[in-house]
Structures are given as structure tokens and as C-alpha cells.
Structure 1
Amino acid sequence: MSQTVDRALSILPLLAEGPADLGQVADRLGVHKSTALRLLRTLHEHGLVYRQSDQRYRLGARLFALAQEAMENLDVREIAHPHLVRLNESCGHTVHLAVYEENEVLYIDKVESRYPVRMYSRIGKPVAITVAAVAKLLLADLPEHERRALAEKLDYPMYTSRSTPHPAAFLRELEKVREQGWATDLGGHEESINCVAAPVRGADGRVVAAMSVSAPNVVVTADELLTLLPLVRRTADAISSEYSGRTPVKDTPA
């Protein structure tokens, strides 16, 4: 990166701390005021910084617009898919990615297991919202008043004896998921299928998606599947880091 570009970009985190005058910018960059002024003028022309009436500079509205545009155009599925594939290669089980949209939790990606037994789930298909591990993670992240309002509106079909029976039980489960940061479905939708899930978070810490590993009892027991929780959480954290831009992309540990 050229020195000029490096200096210009160094101004942005400085102004993120609050408005600064020309002298403060020059001092932070370690340059003459004339150099700092040229950089600030260029950033001002592009709307990335704004000069206030008191002659101090702050971040410009264009910068926030660009950030919002970038976030809206991020495709969590595209970012997550290579990580899901590596997780599948490591454990051999079915891996899902899901999001919450318009009061439904939908699968947006799936990597099939390596064994002959296949799950009925399909990309684009809604999940069983009151029992699915990915749904619990996504709904647990909602503000409390939204969680309560949604819980009261949902139906609670008893798919199995382990299904969530009513709103109070569902809210207790969501609170547990919020506290521990992961979720399970141990025979709540199908007696023979178990699932463990972890959240994918954006730059603001909010849950933007949830990923899970699922397997039938004939392949692994629920206890055996739970031993994969650290790997599932590391995978979700790797996706979160790449999605939010917090750290350089690294391979997910096996």
C-alpha cells in the first residue's frame, strides 16, 4: 500500500474517535499540516470526511452509506459455504445454514452427509421453528418483547415426546440458548435425529445466521454428536470473523 493511501486511511479510525482539527490529524499521522490538509481535502471531496463550522473534521455521511451498502450486499451463504464443506469433510455429518426471514427460519445451504442415510431437509424449506436448533439460536437473539410476542403466536406441534409443548417452555429454552451461546435439538423433531448448532454473528454481534451439524442415532448417539460442539463453534466463529471482517480469513481447525 502506498504511503499516501496508508496515511489517508489512518485518518478514518482517528475521526471515528470524534471530531479532530487539522493539527490533531497532522500530529497523529506524524506529518506536516499541509500534507494532512491535502489528505483531508481528498477525503472530503469523496464524502468520507466532513469539515464542521468549527473547522474540525468528522466522518462523512458517505462513509456510513458505503458501510450500509456493503453490509446489505454481503452474502453469508457464499462466505459460509467453504467452511461448511470443511466441517462436513471433518465429521461426515449433514451440515446446515439457516436464517430468519419474515417470521420463518429457512435453510439457505446444506452439505449432505457421507453416509447413505439422508435428511429430508432442503434449501429454501422452513424449519420446524419451535424445535430446530438453528431456529432457537436465531430467535433467542431477538429483543425480549419480540421473543415473547412471537412465542405467543406460534403453534406447538408435538412431533415427538421431546418437542417444545408451549410458549413458556419455548421462552425458557430461548433464554438458556442466549446464556450458553449454542443450541441443540435432541429428538425434538424426529426421534432418531439429533442436532447441535452455533450462531454466525455480524460486526455488531447480532446473530445473522445459524449453522448446525445433524446426524441420526443409527450413526452416532446424541452424546457422541455433542462432542463435536467445539468444532461446530469454531466453524461458526470462523464464518463470523470473515463475514464481519474482524480478522483475516483462516482455515477452520479440524
Structure 2
Amino acid sequence: MSQTVDRALNILPLLAEGPADLGQVAARLGVHKSTALRLLRTLHDHGLVYRQSDQRYRLGARLFALAQEAVETLDVREIAHPHLVALNEACGHTVHLAVHEDNEVLYIDKVESRYPVRMYSRIGKPVAITVAAVAKLLIADLSEPERRSIAERLDYPRYTPRSTPNAEAFLKELATVREQGWATDLGGHEESINCVGAPIHGTDGRAIAALSVSAPNVVVTAEELLTLLPLVRRTAEAITREYAGTTTTTTTAATTTPA
């Protein structure tokens, strides 16, 4: 029975490449056409494959429905939390997880720094969109019209001399973040706090959350914090793999320290 199940499941990645006829399926599985037909009929009965008018088979609508249901039941916070804890244990600094909802970027999880001097933040609290690393990551992933619409309706409070001054500067920074795949807030919200972050991607490749590591400069300098970027990005990729069953490519950028 296990061999039958294995063969049936091997049909699905074949059809993911495109429609295939009975002979192609049998050849890929290395079985007689009668065996392949029996497997295809079983999958067809369950809606996992569909027989077209040209007698070729393709993936069935039920398979897509199941995939969507599975995605909708995933809780990124639940999946990410052990990774956030591991990242915190590795670096010792405050780790955040954030999402973009209803025109706000919100912290949905946090692991506190082990140092007595730490940044203040609260789960469920909106972040400062124009300066926060997690906000830049999530908004940078939107389409160009969406990014521009958001940038043009935001206020640009001068939290510090390093705060983003206007929409033009914000859009320019978002373009950089989009290209490089990571973001920072180096004293833009609070002069004494620095932050580096990376995106977490969903099944469609879009950023569904972002994580960051933050620390006061009395504990670690901005330059020292930036050396954690490869670890931060690897953590985000690990969460992406577990959440979406895939990963993004960060090759050279993931193993080098930004200037």
C-alpha cells in the first residue's frame, strides 16, 4: 500500500509541470499504463487531478482549495516564535515580529533582551512606519502604486535628526530596501536605538511579516549590530521555509556585512 501511495503522490509534481497524458505519467512512474490509469482515476475521484477533453491530466481544483485552506490556517506567529527565541539566545538583543494590517505595521511578537538596558515596545502597538526597519520591509514589498500612495499620505515626524524627512526620501529608501532585501533603523526613531531586520515570505513570495533585532547603542554600536545581519536573514529564511515550504535567495548578500 505504501508503494501505491508513493506512486500516486509522485504524479502530482509531474502534473505541476503541466498537463500530461497517460503514457507520460506511466513513463515517469516506471509502471504499466494500467497501473498509472488506476492511480489517476483514484486521484481524479478525489478532485486532485482532472482529465481534460484532450485526454491529458492536470492538477485538480480540489488540490488548490486544500492548499489555500492550509495557508489560511497557518499562524506565522506560532511558526516564527521558536526561531525568534533562538535568535534572541544567539545575540541577546530584543527580537520583534511585525505584520502590515489595516494601514498599520504592528508588533505581534517580542522576545526581550537579556540586557538591563533595552528598548521599550509592546505587542500590538503600531510602529513608526517612516523609520522602523520592519515597516520599511513590509511596505517596500508592495507594488509601486501602493508604495507611492502610502508614502504620499503619511506624516513625517522628526523623531530625531536621522528620521526620514519626506515622501521622496521614504520612497528612495523603500527602493533600496526592496533591492537589497533587508532594512535598518539607525537612530531614526530614537537616537540611542538601532535596529536591523529581514522579511518573511509567504507561499506567493510576498512578504507576510518581518523580524528585527534592536539594541541600545550603549549595549552595542550600530556597526556591531549590523554584523548580525546574516544571522537575522538566516532566521527569516528559516521561518519562510517552515511557513511557505520554500526560501528566498540571499547568497552573497546574506554572508556579507553592509558598509
SS of 2:178 mapped into structure 1: helix
1:191 counterpart = 2:191: yes
1:217 counterpart = 2:213: no
1:201 counterpart = 2:201: yes
Distance in 2 (alpha carbons) for counterparts of 1:7 and 1:91: 45
- The AA in structure 2 aligned to 1:204 is D
1:129 counterpart = 2:129: yes
- The AA in structure 2 aligned to 1:76 is V
Unaligned runs of 5+ in 2: 248-259
* Match in the other structure for 2:14: 14
- Kept after mapping to 1: 8 A contact 2:118/2:216: no
Distance in 1 (alpha carbons) for counterparts of 2:19 and 2:224: 54
1:228 counterpart = 2:228: yes
* Match in the other structure for 2:76: 76
What is the 5 A alignment of 1:1-254?
2-246=2-246
SS of 1:200 mapped into structure 2: strand
Alpha-carbon shift at residue 111 of structure 1 (Å): 0.1
How much identity, in percent, do the aligned residues show?
Answer: 85
Alpha-carbon shift at residue 204 of structure 1 (Å): 2.6
Aligned residues: 247
TM-score (norm 1): 0.94
Alpha-carbon shift at residue 42 of structure 1 (Å): 0.8
- The AA in structure 2 aligned to 1:104 is E
Distance in 2 (alpha carbons) for counterparts of 1:70 and 1:220: 41
Distance in 1 (alpha carbons) for counterparts of 2:122 and 2:105: 12
SS of 2:211 mapped into structure 1: strand
SS of 1:3 mapped into structure 2: helix
SS of 1:198 mapped into structure 2: strand
Alpha-carbon shift at residue 36 of structure 1 (Å): 0.7
- Kept after mapping to 1: 8 A contact 2:10/2:29: yes
Distance in 2 (alpha carbons) for counterparts of 1:24 and 1:196: 50
Distance in 1 (alpha carbons) for counterparts of 2:218 and 2:6: 57
Distance in 1 (alpha carbons) for counterparts of 2:129 and 2:138: 10
Alpha-carbon shift at residue 168 of structure 1 (Å): 0.2
129-138 vs 114-123, which moves further: 114-123
Query: Over residues 112-150 of structure 1, what are the superposed CA-to-partner deviations in whole Å (9 max), with x where a residue is unaligned?
Result: 000122322111111001100000000000000110011
Query: Over residues 68-108 of structure 1, what are the superposed CA-to-partner deviations in whole Å (9 max), with x where a residue is unaligned?
Result: 11111111111111111011011110000001111110111
Distance in 2 (alpha carbons) for counterparts of 1:52 and 1:234: 43
Alpha-carbon shift at residue 33 of structure 1 (Å): 1.2
Cα RMSD of the aligned pairs, angstroms, is: 1.2
Alpha-carbon shift at residue 244 of structure 1 (Å): 1.2
200-209 vs 135-144, which moves further: 200-209
Alpha-carbon shift at residue 205 of structure 1 (Å): 2.0
Unaligned runs of 5+ in 1: 248-254
- The AA in structure 1 aligned to 2:235 is T
SS of 1:114 mapped into structure 2: coil
- The AA in structure 1 aligned to 2:110 is K
Query: Over residues 188-247 of structure 1, what are the superposed CA-to-partner deviations in whole Å (9 max), with x where a residue is unaligned?
Result: 001111000011112332111110000001111111111111111111111111111137
Distance in 1 (alpha carbons) for counterparts of 2:240 and 2:173: 24
- The AA in structure 2 aligned to 1:182 is W
SS of 1:208 mapped into structure 2: strand
- The AA in structure 2 aligned to 1:246 is T
* Match in the other structure for 2:250: none
TM-score (norm 2): 0.93
